[in-house]
Amino acid sequence: MLRLGRREFDPHEPVVMAIVNRTPDSFYDQGATFRDEPALARVEQAVAEGAAIVDIGGVKAGPGEEVTAQEEARRTVGFVAEVRRRFPDVVISVDTWRAEVGEAVCAVGADVLNDAWGGVDPALAEVAARYGAGLVCTHAGGAQPRTRPHRVTYDDVMADILEVTVGLAERAVALGVPRESVLIDPGHDFGKNTRHSLEATRRLGEMVETGWPVLVSLSNKDFVGETLDRPVKERVLGTLATTAVSAWLGAQVYRVHEVAETRQVLDMVASIAGHRPPAVARRGLA
């Protein structure tokens, strides 16, 4: 059982996490939800389309202008408080690697800390433990926040992913983070080239076999773009194909831009796998 905030999810229940960027320079929407009202409208739409989690981020993942912890908090803390007020049942995740930002958002109602940079600030897990918040433990290949990989190599990329993410998860539980609220993430594109991310997808079942719930952040990423030679705005089909494969292999949580499309893919895979009945079954029964 995965427990995040007020919600519990069965092991075979696929969960959509909608991306809400509080940044003026995000790679996908170029700041469409930087201001409060568009961002709140995005949350409302995402929940209506089937997202159980919203993931709020105040710093884009890639290189760019410096964003201090104070500025990151300014972009996220008040917004988290307002989302908590307007949407009491939605699971609120905050994408941050900084313990001080984690502390501030948990204080106003965040349920999950999404540490996309692989524990670069060890105190972030301590914050999650103090607040009983969930924690996403991600493999970033030792990369520093907001840097791009350059000629990174692994003897065995999945072995490295497993060692890092399981180690981070076990440390989190030892610190007091509820075991049922810890997820592991292979970190597609983070500290990896395209071939690494494809292999991580192909071998995702090895992560599932650890028993930790697996989160994947695939949406419109560079490994999809390079695989199909498509620009950012033309990566949806590749993302959905990768989502279907990941669902079949057992990933549970999907961090996405396109909520409605992802929800349909996940429901279809779940029904094929026998975990979900068809929404309607009339054919051949009249």
Please list the active-site residues. Answer: 221, 255
Q: How far apart are CA 71 and CA 30, in angstroms?
A: 18
Q: How far apart are CA 132 and CA 71, in angstroms?
A: 25
Residues belonging to the chain: 286
Q: β-pairing, 215-217 with 182-185?
A: unpaired
**Residue 145's closest CA among 125, 169, 115, 104?**
115
Q: How does 60-79 read in b/e, with b if 16+ C-beta sit within 10 Å?
A: bbeeeeebeeeebbebbbeb
Q: How far apart are CA 123 and CA 177, in angstroms?
A: 12
Tokens 């204080």 belong to which residue? 107
Category of 152 on φ-ψ map: left (φ > 0), alpha (ψ -120 to 50) or beta: beta
**Residue 201's closest CA among 232, 229, 223, 168?**
223
Name, in order, each residue with C-beta under 8 angstroms of 167's C-beta and a sequence gap of 6 or more.
Answer: none
- Beta carbons of 17 and 53 less than 8 angstroms apart: yes
SS3 176: coil
Two structure tokens written together for 117: 């940079």
